[in-house]
Structure 1
């Protein structure tokens, strides 16, 4: 059995967290007792997610409890404070001294880096803090990837990356057949990228890959075309031309489909309300979200099938 802990910080990304839980709960359905999940916070207090949904941790943050862990994942979010309190630095350094792997979701790598635990490692972090972490931790390779597994450090900057991190962890600690079964049962690749999966198989240039990575990292608060252009040092016109030639669709449409397929997955696999899902996928108007959803999938989000959870 693998013991996995999630350290919830204020305004943590609920979609990243639930992606991980989806994988782990499914593993226990397939092979009961495969993993044990623990949630932690400072002083065992309730923590509010980025969608204003409170979560009450189930495990006290004591030396005895954390010593049983195989993996501790720091759960950050877009509005999680960047200041790293002394208690968190001390805790992460204590964990690093034990035979425990450390992970970070969304901007979780920021806290690992501030604790000095990413020197010599590669990592993934949300685009908003990528430059800041690279400047603060010059001995860390801060990548554009949405997920990075480097020895005993596992980091992900998006919900998609969070899913992949947990799948890879299952492959590491359980029978690979169990991990295979989890992946096949959740059918993640088909639901999350159904409308774009064929395009991902095509060869694209480095700038286009970087833009797609940025899009995946910013589903909740989408970047406009000017911001994307500035990040990759290209003009709007160049980006539009590259996407049309290499992928066959405008970048704005590609981005919209990524957000809508994530919304579909959340509707199918969570108890979140439609409006919460719309906000999590970057839509500020319920009406606009419903129209875009209907145009892509042929029915409004209210008619999407929701699986029992």
Structure 2
């Protein structure tokens, strides 16, 4: 029997595209290294790392992450929590990177050691982008690697960096992304920086999937990737809320229309004009999307999931699931077991 393939509308593509099988097309792998300095900002580091770890959860193997320290020794963060690097700081390891991020912090030393200056100048001669978290720009500037670049640094050192590196354009923004230099001054800036890197280093689709998975609604990211979703009117929002609250026993079109005081034809027009789909298709894609979430995040049986999401036939549910996701629900990844 021929396998039927179905696609999500734009609304649900954002929620599901990262989990849909993409065939055997070779994927771009982004290789990122974090050089941890003593008293580095753990919140900045974890915000950046969260993006990359989530990307690998959605699309395994798309990002390779390495952590380094000077002597491959344990490093104490600004919160007093020790982190043990996983990779020796060798020329071979560094040459394999696409991006090296210097992780600084409020109490990180202002004096730049000779080994770090030598390392940064060596890396700058390679086709590797350089980044900095919190005051990471301080070390890049000391090595002369920010001349002619915009950069971001925590407010504590902003004036000092501008005086010490007059050829750099020190920004007041939490993130500066300028060609092959990217620097952030805050944890949120670190998150934004990695999303930008992910969108360019792999695919914008994967960056969008990370944002959706982390429920991180940042229109400034999506603006350069795709048109934003239209704003929904109150009547349509009310209908969607009804659908979301009634997955196990889906409401009929007459019931939905009656609750919001509209005709079935008017409801159909709302979905067509604002979401470019039909109420039936939207409801169905909502149910199949929630079914995937339930499978991934619970130990419920496939049969119970199908009932919870309004599918009276387990066979129909399995066929529909395979059509959208490229595999049956029994093959879905479960994070709760």
TM-score range relative to shorter protein: 0.5 to 0.7
Q: After superposition, where does 1:1-309 map in structure 2 within 5 Å? A: 1-189=29-217
Please list the CA deviations of residues 23-52 of structure 1 after superposition, one character each: whole Å capped at 9, or x if unmatched: 000000111100010000001011000000
| Secondary structure, aligned partner of 1:57 | coil
- Give me the whole-angstrom Cα distance separating, in 2, the residues matched to 1:148 and 1:25: 23
Could you state the TM-score of these two structures normalised by the residue count of structure 1?
Answer: 0.61
- Give me the whole-angstrom Cα distance separating, in 2, the residues matched to 1:153 and 1:98: 13
More helix by share: 1
Q: Which runs of 4+ in 1 moved over 6 A?
A: none
Q: Aligned-pair distance for 1:173? A: 1.2
- Give me the whole-angstrom Cα distance separating, in 1, the residues matched to 2:217 and 2:35: 27
- Give me the whole-angstrom Cα distance separating, in 2, the residues matched to 1:113 and 1:67: 21
Q: Count residues in correspondence.
A: 192
| Secondary structure, aligned partner of 2:71 | helix
- Give me the whole-angstrom Cα distance separating, in 1, the residues matched to 2:145 and 2:203: 29
Q: Aligned-pair distance for 1:184? A: 1.2
- Give me the whole-angstrom Cα distance separating, in 2, the residues matched to 1:102 and 1:133: 17
Could you state the TM-score of these two structures normalised by the residue count of structure 2?
Answer: 0.56
Q: Aligned-pair distance for 1:188? A: 2.6
- Give me the whole-angstrom Cα distance separating, in 2, the residues matched to 1:62 and 1:170: 25
| Secondary structure, aligned partner of 2:34 | strand
- Give me the whole-angstrom Cα distance separating, in 2, the residues matched to 1:70 and 1:175: 15
Q: Aligned-pair distance for 1:185? A: 1.1
- Give me the whole-angstrom Cα distance separating, in 2, the residues matched to 1:72 and 1:22: 16
| Secondary structure, aligned partner of 2:167 | coil
Q: Aligned-pair distance for 1:189? A: 4.0
Q: Which has the higher contact order (CA 8 A, sep 6+)?
A: 2
Q: Aligned-pair distance for 1:164? A: 0.3
Give 1 or 2 for the bigger CA radius of gyration: 2
1:261 aligned residue: none
- The unaligned stretches of length 5 or more in structure 2 are 1-28, 219-334
